Amino acid sequence: MTSETRVASIDELEAGFLREMGDDRWAATETAYALAVLHRELGNWNRSREWVKQCLHLLDGFPSDTEEQVATKRLTAGGVPLPTYLHDGVVRGRFGTPA
């Protein structure tokens, strides 16, 4: 595995999320999605749901009328594969509706 394919630690992704919130909210949304995926894979269901909620909250602030508006800007966030399109329906389809 090369450094390009290494999955970032949760701490690294959370630090990236905080940086991104200041200057690139779309990147922060992608990172929130990646954090939800990582926590789910580790069996941290409550933390995964928290990141799903954060991702959905951030998505509310973006238009979603066209594919271009919901297309992810990166292939991965911290080594976690991102969907081609990131919108409410994709998140709820992959994680369900958070309680």
> Can you list the residues of the chain whose pLDDT is less than 70?
1-5
Look up the pTM and report it.
Answer: 0.93
pLDDT at 3: 47
One-letter amino acid of 26: W
Phi-psi region of 49 (alpha: psi -120 to 50; beta: other; left: phi over 0): alpha
Give the pLDDT confidence score for residue 5 in this predicted structure.
66
Element (H, E) at 6: none
pLDDT on residue 99: 73
What's the confidence (pLDDT) of residue 4? 53
pLDDT at 36: 98
The pLDDT value recorded for residue 98 is 83
